[in-house]
Structure 1
Amino acid sequence: MRKFLAPALVVVLLTAVGGGIWYSNTRVGDDRATAEAARLTQAREVSVRGLIGSEKEAFFADPRVAQALAKHGITVSVEKAGSRSIANRYDPKKYDFGFPSGAPAASQLKTQAQAANVYTPFYTPMVVASWKPIADILIANKIAEKRGDVFYVVDLPALMALIEKGTRWRELEKSQAFATSKAVLIASTDVRTSNSAAMYLALASYLANRQQIVQSQEDVDRVLPSVVPLFLRQGLQEQSSSGPFEDYLALGMGKAPLLMAYESQMVEFWLKNPDKAKGEMVLMYPSPTVYSKHVLVPYTPAGARLGEALEKDPALQALAHEYGFRTGGTEKGPAQWARQGVAVPDTLVDVIDPPSQEWLERMISAVEARFK
């Protein structure tokens, strides 16, 4: 027995020692792998800073957006500014990205940043925020019509002609619900700072230029007599889109019978206040209209990571829908909103492009000169 037992004990002992060495090495290897994974994760984590349009401020302040971005290793801090201001404040030492509300400003930024790629995670059409009594007056005057649950400004040139002539609301047919001496105007933000006003200018200049996009100095000279008064006659104008929309909500029809706004503003309000979706507030879609594209221009690789996450992550796109933005992907927003009682067109056909930044800037500068 001793003859066989001693070698067996030696085998057991050697096995135990070998197993201990193997376990120890495995544990060390696991610890090293964990440490390396943590190092790589930390290397992937970035903090990005950027300038955004005010209408995206609530989106970026949402803790769920911060959590979704954290899964990509991204922490974001933002400052809000008008789109024209964003285009004029390019500073890659201070910011990782610019995120204006319109393609013309983004085009200028792209050139300055020499960005290989830009990202368009959101877009929204320009609309006229109004009220049912006002919509009924415009319908009676054959300027608007209702198709299903959606109102359209079907004769936008006729509406612009009323504005140009200084027509009073009480002078219109069947205007008893708003028989005031107030001039027919579309209120907007300050075209010198804000993209929503710039998109209004793009739309008005298209109509004044024989329904052609402004693309020469001759075109600019032709449209200025018609478009400049649209802004000069408004009086005080807010620098960003949030201010006029808050007045629209708080002060009612008397303050803003017609307001140039983003569809996203009204959709977001209705989603958060479903009891108001069947009230007196209405969206009117100009025909033609123009899309406001929210284009993120990266100045740094970290900014590009943010743009890619916003454009491709389904969770972030779903959150964007809650703030009224349309997106790419399989569900663009309107279908989800319809399930929540908010009716908007799935698609818009009569849509124009804004002028290039060069010609839009020339028109804005001309309006700016008249303000002084």
Structure 2
Amino acid sequence: MIARRALALGLAALLLAGVGGGVWYSRTALVSNQQAQLTQQQAVVARGLIGSEKEPFFQDERVRAVLARHGVTVNVQKAGSRSIANSYDAKQFDFGFPSGAPAAAQLKAAAKASNVYTPFYTPIVLASWKPIAEILMANGIVSKRDDFYYVIDLPALLQLAEKGARWRDLKDSAAFSTGKAVLPASTDVRSSNSAAMYLALASYVLNGQQVVQSQSDLDRVLPLVAPLFLRQGFQESSSAGPFEDYLALGMGKAPLLVAYESQLVEFWLKHPQRKNSDMVMLYPQPTLYSKHVLVPFTPAGDRVGQLLESDPELRTLAQEYGFRTGGNTHGPELWAKQGVRAPEQLVDVIEPPSQEWLERMIVNIEQRF
């Protein structure tokens, strides 16, 4: 009798468990199906205007797959950051994603956007070569830190540029004894953010280590900063072209190139065999971070900004393209695991001028071309 009762209780328990499991499975399947239907119903296609250095990131199938899981498809068109802020109709796009905070501030005001997102940032560096770094070290302008990265004294470098120094004039310059001017090459300041950030740095240094913020500051620095761009000759409108020349044509074409840290880090991560080449990054002292700020124009653009800033998988993928991000790890930790070392923190960092004063400097230089 006891055995029969125990068997009945056991069968009842199994029946209840089966019914409960079926209910749980049905509910889980229903919720999952509802979530999938909700994502499908909310699926959007967002059209964005971006700086050229972010195009490979948005073309990456892994990035597209993560966005697709959130019901988002992104199509992008590239342009110079100043052009993004000045030359396009925001109504034709869902977001603008220039490479600098001043251009983004102008874009935000023009588009009357209520909020912005800053998922990526990268410091301005000088892409150079070991023989060039060694010449500058012999002349007291470059120093090596922690035995793996270089710092360049920007005031001393700009002083050489102002004097019209030639590489052959420098001490121990046999490795690059040319008549080429000691003058960093940049993109076109009239259209490109990297050149605008170089202008921000140079104007700070040549304004007595003060950010330009008045007409008297502007009048003081313009005769000093304008030649840094006017003397270069032809300049490209975005950062991708000059960096390709740097890689392909070497030291003779570009002994010192104003670039983004992200460009070199991305290249080394994708071409590990080149990590031990003569390519080096020189971190200007002072330097500044170029902040990649997404300005949403529509709810679809806002979703893209939220995802880029908050999704851990997208942050990791951005770091693979050399960008620093928020989150628990910022980029250098990931790069170091792959043999690409960069300083985790930079101390001597300034902010660029406000959009108003940076734009005034650019317009004044534009008028002198």
Give the TM-score, by structure 2 length. Answer: 0.90
Matches within 5 A, 1:36-115: 37=35, 39-115=37-113
SS in 1 for 2:358: helix
The one-character-per-residue Cα deviations of 1:123-173 (angstroms, maximum 9, x if unpaired) are 0000000000000010000001011100100x2111101001110100000
Unaligned runs of 5+ in 2: 1-25
Question: 1:317 Cα deviation (Å)?
Answer: 0.5
Q: Percent identity?
A: 68
Match 1:277 to one of 275, 278, 291: 275
Question: Does structure 1 residue 152 correspond to structure 2 residue 189?
Answer: no
Question: Does structure 1 residue 129 correspond to structure 2 residue 147?
Answer: no
Question: 1:227 Cα deviation (Å)?
Answer: 0.3
The one-character-per-residue Cα deviations of 1:97-120 (angstroms, maximum 9, x if unpaired) are 000000000001111222221100
Question: 1:240 Cα deviation (Å)?
Answer: 0.2
The one-character-per-residue Cα deviations of 1:255-300 (angstroms, maximum 9, x if unpaired) are 0000000000000000011111111000000000010000000001
The one-character-per-residue Cα deviations of 1:8-47 (angstroms, maximum 9, x if unpaired) are xxxxxxxxxxxxxxxxxxx9x9999888655422221100
1:143 to 1:71, Cα distance in 2 relative to 1, 3 A: same
What residue identity is the alignment partner of 1:143?
Answer: I
CA distance in 2 between counterparts of 1:252 and 1:105 reads 31
CA distance in 1 between counterparts of 2:350 and 2:43 reads 40
- Which 4+ stretches in 1 moved above 6 angstroms? 29-35
SS in 2 for 1:126: strand
2:357 counterpart residue number? 359
CA distance in 2 between counterparts of 1:349 and 1:357 reads 24
2:325 counterpart residue number? 327
Match 1:117 to one of 115, 118, 127: 115
CA distance in 2 between counterparts of 1:161 and 1:92 reads 41
What residue identity is the alignment partner of 1:290?
Answer: L
1:164 to 1:305, Cα distance in 2 relative to 1, 3 A: same
2:213 counterpart residue number? 215
Q: Does the CA-based 8 Å contact 2:39-2:70 persist in structure 1? A: no
1:133 to 1:304, Cα distance in 2 relative to 1, 3 A: same
SS in 1 for 2:91: coil
1:184 to 1:39, Cα distance in 2 relative to 1, 3 A: same
The one-character-per-residue Cα deviations of 1:301-327 (angstroms, maximum 9, x if unpaired) are 110100000000010001001100000
1:39 to 1:252, Cα distance in 2 relative to 1, 3 A: same
After superposing the two structures, state which structure 1 stretch, 55-64 or 92-101, moved more.
92-101
Q: Does the CA-based 8 Å contact 1:90-1:112 persist in structure 2? A: no
1:6 counterpart residue number? none
How many pairs does the alignment contain?
Answer: 344
Question: 1:217 Cα deviation (Å)?
Answer: 1.2
After superposing the two structures, state which structure 1 stretch, 89-98 or 323-332, moved more.
89-98
CA distance in 2 between counterparts of 1:342 and 1:267 reads 7
CA distance in 2 between counterparts of 1:280 and 1:272 reads 17
Match 1:239 to one of 234, 237, 240: 237
Q: Does the CA-based 8 Å contact 1:205-1:227 persist in structure 2? A: yes
2:14 counterpart residue number? none
Q: Does the CA-based 8 Å contact 1:84-1:192 persist in structure 2? A: yes
CA distance in 2 between counterparts of 1:320 and 1:171 reads 42
Q: Does the CA-based 8 Å contact 1:92-1:300 persist in structure 2? A: no
Question: Does structure 1 residue 299 correspond to structure 2 residue 297?
Answer: yes
2:3 counterpart residue number? none
SS in 2 for 1:93: helix
1:171 to 1:194, Cα distance in 2 relative to 1, 3 A: same
Question: 1:200 Cα deviation (Å)?
Answer: 0.3
Between Structure 1 and Structure 2, whose CA radius of gyration is higher? Answer: 1
Question: 1:180 Cα deviation (Å)?
Answer: 0.6
2:288 counterpart residue number? 290
Question: 1:65 Cα deviation (Å)?
Answer: 0.4
SS in 2 for 1:308: helix
The one-character-per-residue Cα deviations of 1:156-211 (angstroms, maximum 9, x if unpaired) are 11110100111010000000110111110100000000000000000000011110
SS in 2 for 1:87: helix
1:173 to 1:111, Cα distance in 2 relative to 1, 3 A: same
Q: Does the CA-based 8 Å contact 1:90-1:109 persist in structure 2? A: no
SS in 2 for 1:271: helix
2:13 counterpart residue number? none
SS in 1 for 2:290: strand
CA distance in 2 between counterparts of 1:209 and 1:320 reads 35
CA distance in 1 between counterparts of 2:84 and 2:288 reads 21
